[in-house]
Chain A
Amino acid sequence: MPDINEDLDSLLAGFLGAEEARRAAADIRSGDRLLSELAAPRPGAGLLADINGKVAGALVARRRRVRHRIGRAVAAAAAVIVVGSVLLFFSGDAPDQIARPPLPPDRPLAPRWWDDSAVETLAAEVDDVLDSMISISVDDAHIEDQIPDFDLAELEELEMIAMNDDFWKG
């Protein structure tokens, strides 16, 4: 019998006469008993294991997608900060520079510690960040392609590769 929280007799009494409602309630309870006692088969253990595996695989894929999104956001933020810093550093129109008194003619524009190799280093860093962003987005697209098929073996392999990468990076 289904364990439903409702007053069947009162419900039926709202639509039918007392005797009719009583008979209808008896019919419904009798039908419920029939279904209870002739139970349907239960799902097999193999089927349940398969479903649990699919859900676990999908969870791994979802976590990976979230990690990639965070990584991409961090990389993008880093790129914006680096590029912004470079632009600010070389901009002659920066507000704090406008407010300053003019430099004496014999003083160099760049600080003493500055040399041209620093520009090359910054440019190389920007290139590295952009390369990382491209490789992350390519990897992410590949993972998303796999999700609807729930290819568990492939997802586990990708997880292992990621774990190995993390291990060698420390």
Chain B
Amino acid sequence: MDDLEKLNRIVAGCQNGENEAFAQLIDIYSTRCYGYFYRLTGNTGISDDLLSRLFVRLFEKIGSFKGGSFEKWLFTIASNIFNDYLRHEYRQRRLLEAHAEQLAMESPPRRSDSETADRLQRQIGKLDEDTAELIMLRFYGKLSFKELSELREEPIGTTLSKVHRGLRKLRELMGGQDA
């Protein structure tokens, strides 16, 4: 049984309300979805919360999945959850303008693999939000440029250009490090 067929069976199991199928889906996608949230927020606590919200929403909406690319569908939900979080965060920041500088200082991650990884996280924070999210959707969601452009409702050339410039800038910010 190939991976796609296996995934289709798992998704069908979820739609039939099988607990084991949900557990498998969580097992398959939790690391990638967590990486997506972590790279965009730089905070493990927030990533924990967003990952929980994602799978609860997945449970609620799995019946509406009508086929096609499951990963595009899943990461569209993840993107919506992240953007809800950003809107909430933006409102909070406006309410606490007096402490804006302090809040900005509170963004470094509480847990990461190494100092270099911390540095990568800081450099990702220097990209504009839209570009950073496109790069993470492509990397963790494994979405093609065509899928990304459909998701963003923009020409594929625009998406290509944003991701290319973003990744080039990221590499430059990391001092030309090619890992």
Please report A residues at the B interface, Cβ cutoff 8 Å: 2-6, 11-12, 15, 24, 27-28, 30-44, 47-48, 50-52, 54-56, 58-59, 62-63, 150
Contact = CB atoms under 8 A, between A and B. Distances in A.
Contacts of B109: 41
Interface of B: 17, 19, 22-23, 26-27, 30-31, 34-35, 38-39, 44, 47-48, 51-52, 55-56, 59-60, 109, 111-114, 116-117, 120, 135, 138-140, 142-146, 156-157, 160, 163-164, 166-168, 170-171, 174, 177-179
A48 B142 CA distance: 22
Query: B-side binding surface: helix, strand, loop or mixed?
Result: helix
Contacts of B171: 27, 30-31, 34
A6 B26 contact: no
A40 B164 CA distance: 21
Nearest to B38: A40
Contacts of B163: 28
Given A40-B35, A48-B26, A24 B164 contact: yes
Nearest to B14: A55
23 contacts: A5-B144, A11-B145, A27-B171, A32-B139, A33-B179, A34-B171, A34-B174, A34-B178, A38-B114, A38-B116, A38-B117, A38-B120, A40-B35, A40-B112, A40-B117, A41-B34, A43-B30, A44-B48, A51-B26, A51-B52, A54-B52, A55-B59, A56-B19
A12 B160 contact: yes
Contact of A38 (B19, B48, B113, B160): B113
A23 to B, nearest CB: 9
Contacts, number: 127
A37 B179 CA distance: 6
Contacts of B31: 42-43
Given A32-B139, A40-B38, A41-B113, 10 more contacts: A2-B142, A28-B163, A35-B120, A38-B113, A39-B117, A40-B117, A43-B30, A48-B30, A54-B56, A58-B60
B66 to A, nearest CB: 20
Nearest to A24: B164
A132 B114 CA distance: 62
A6 B144 contact: yes
A41 B44 contact: yes
Contact of A59 (B19, B142, B156): B19
Given A38-B117, A47-B51, A11 B160 contact: yes
Contacts of A54: 52, 55-56
